[in-house]
Structure formats: C-alpha cells, structure tokens
Amino acid sequence: MKRFFTIIIILYISFTTTQAQKYPGIMGRHLSLGYRPIFSFTISGLNSGGRYMNIIENREMGKAVPIALNTTHSFALNYILNRHILLVTNISIMKSTFEVPKYSISNMFENYTIDPLIAKTSGYGFLIGIRKYVANIPLGWFVSYKVGANVYSANIKYSYSAGFYPTTSNEIKVKHTNFRFIYELGKQFILTERLLLDVSLDVDFVACVFSIVDSNKRIYGENYDKYCTFFLYKRTYNRDISNINFGINYLIK
C-alpha cells in the first residue's frame, strides 16, 4: 500500500507540472487545498459511536437513535487541468464500530464460546480522480470519477472460558483494505475570489457489490481472527456505500 501511494504521488507531481504550462488556471491559480467533512447514514450496523438507526432495525447491542451518521474527515489537494477538468486527490481519516456476534467452537480439541462484543475500528484512505464540470471551472454542476482504497484496523479484546479451565483474556489485531471506485455528482459555488464551496453525493460501486456478499459464507470453524475480520470487512463496506460530501477549497497558487 505504501508503494502504491508513492507511485501516485510521483505521477501526480509529474502530470501537474506538465499541465501547468498549457492552461493559465483561475486568475493564474491552478492549485487548491480543501477540507471535506463526509457523512453517511448507518443503514445497517453501528456508527462510530456505537449507535444504530431504530427506524431501520432493532439490535441487541448498541444504542438506538433516530439518525445514526458516520463521519469521515478528508483533506483535498486539487489541480486545475483545463477549463472543465479538475484533478482531485483526497487523504481521509475515519472511525467506526462493528459488532462481532457470539463465536462458538466445539470439536475434539477445543470447546469454548466467546460472547458477542462491539469493537472499535479506525482507518485512513486515499483517492485520486478527475472532476468534470458542465460549465467552466469553478462554478456549477460536476461529476467525478475516483479510485483508491480505505485501510481499516481494529484491536479486539476478548475473554473466554473453556470447560473447567480459568477464564482466558486475549487481544488480537485485525486489518482489512477496501478498494474503491466512486461516482460523484455535485455542485460548486463561489464564496469569495479564492474560496470555493461544493456539495455532492457519491456512490462507491465496489462497496455496493461487496456489502451484499452472503453473510452465511462465513465459516464458524475458522479461527477467531478471520471471524472478526469478516465482520470488519462487512461493516466497513456498508459504511462506504454512499456519502454526502461538503467541501471548502482555497485557491493557493
């Protein structure tokens, strides 16, 4: 993953340096920095605060609230290529929670049960793509196409008792990388000479596919690490399906 990010950065610098000689930009400026708070509804599962939407489902674990949102903090570096095309890059940080159901194993070697629990996960992500404006940059409707990845990890503490043996405590770390292909539709507004605001809705097609993978395919006989990783995988892809984005960008160069 680090090698992937390094290659992307090298290509970005090379490409933008070449394009800078071809288009004068907005008032001579090509580059902008931005911050994007990103929100998604928790349709299934728990949000970062361990809450779920009680109008959608009823769960044994977690706190019921009318609306449960996931929040992602994203930082953007954008570069104007021509009158209609913007090169966009985003680095994001996020948190979430996910539920791990009861785990039981019984065979001639092992016989124990681990109670259900709620685990916290944190992650980071990277996106790169293009934004195409219907009219001239920087005003009006646009569509974006982006690719990238989110990397999630979680430290899970649990305990169990096997027969007459004393209770055993343990901690494991699970990790999963979600690759992404995003389509985004939005509109941008001019606040001041250098300050731009945009609002958009996006859909992650990779998450749409992998979030509906049949949960019955999990194997209870697998070790507990793989068992937890499966639910991390399911929860984070559900989290990434669709987002509402608010962006504020400042033209710097």
β-pairing, 103-106 vs 63-65, is unpaired
For residue 203, give every residue at least 6 positions away whose Cβ sits within 8 Å of its Cβ, in sequence order, or none: 182, 183, 184, 241, 242
For residue 116, cis peptide bond before it (omega within 30 degrees of 0): no
- Selection from 117, 142, 119, 122 nearest residue 132 by Cα: 142
The pLDDT tens digits of the residues spanning 170-222 come to 888 888 898 999 999 999 998 888 899 999 999 999 988 887 765 545 544 46
3-state secondary structure 49-83: CCEEECCCCCCCCCEEECCCEEEEEEEEEEEECCC
β-pairing, 31-41 vs 51-53, is unpaired
Give the start-to-end residue ranges of the domains of the chain: 2-251
| CATH class held by domain 2-251 | mainly beta
Rounded Cα distance between 188 and 86, Å, is: 12
Q: How confident is the model at residue 234 (pLDDT cuts 50, 70, 90)?
A: confident
- The H-or-E segment that residue 243 falls in is strand 242-251
Backbone φ and ψ of 16, nearest 5°:
-70, -30
The pLDDT tens digits of the residues spanning 15-74 come to 544 444 454 445 556 789 999 999 887 666 666 666 665 555 555 566 665 566 788 999
Proportion of the chain above pLDDT 90, given as a percent? 30
- Selection from 100, 92, 91, 101 nearest residue 120 by Cα: 100
| Per-residue exposure over 69-84, b if at least 16 CB sit within 10 Å of its own CB, e if not | ebebebebbbbbbeee
pTM over 0.75: yes
Q: What is the pLDDT of residue 16?
A: 46
User: In the numeric block, which tokens belong to residue 205?
Assistant: 């097609």
Rounded Cα distance between 183 and 143, Å, is: 7
With a cut of 70, say whether residue 237 has pLDDT above it. Answer: yes
Other residues' Cβ atoms within 10 Å of the Cβ of residue 174: 22
Q: What is the pLDDT of residue 179?
A: 92
